[in-house]
Amino acid sequence: MNTKAKRPAKKTAGRAPKKRSTVGASINKGLEEAIAWTRGENAKVRVTLVHVPDVDVREVRARMGLSQAQFATKFGFPPATLRNWEQGRARPDAPARVLLAVIAKHPQAVEDVLGKAS
């Protein structure tokens, strides 16, 4: 015979049960906030802006004493792209500028990561 008394279910005094947020709802909310922010609406969102430096590719390459072909090969850039950057026909995109900034300050670190390709 079971001698334990059954506990009455807890009652929530006038409170509605909490709804669980789904992943999809969270994504939708984030997209709605992003759209509102781009429209200039006063959406309460956190925005982090990172300054990506401009790098004088020719100056960095010349300081290292490398030809365009050597620099391009060593750091994995297409030689034609490097030429276009140096001659002002094109501008490195943000990820390339970050890599170039690291090369300018710590070329050995990039060489180590790339396996000393040269």
**pLDDT (tens place) for every residue of the chain, 118 residues total:** 555 666 655 555 666 666 677 899 889 988 888 888 888 887 676 778 888 889 999 999 999 999 999 999 999 999 999 999 999 999 999 999 999 999 999 999 999 999 854 4
pLDDT score for 35: 86
pLDDT score for 34: 82
pLDDT score for 55: 94
pLDDT score for 118: 47
Tally of domains within the chain: 1
Decide: 117 and 73 in contact? Cβ < 8 Å: yes
pLDDT score for 15: 66
Whether the predicted model's global pTM rises above the 0.75 cut: no
Q: Report which of 54, 78, 74 is spatially closest to residue 65, judged by C-alpha positions.
A: 74
Our measurement of the distance from residue 53's CA atom to the centroid of its chain's CA atoms, rounded to an integer in Å, reads 15
Task: Give first-to-last CA distance, the chain, whole Å.
Answer: 83
**Does residue 94 form part of some domain?**
yes
Domain limits at 81? 57-113
pLDDT score for 17: 63
**Does residue 108 form part of some domain?**
yes
Domain at 67, CATH number: 1.10.260.40
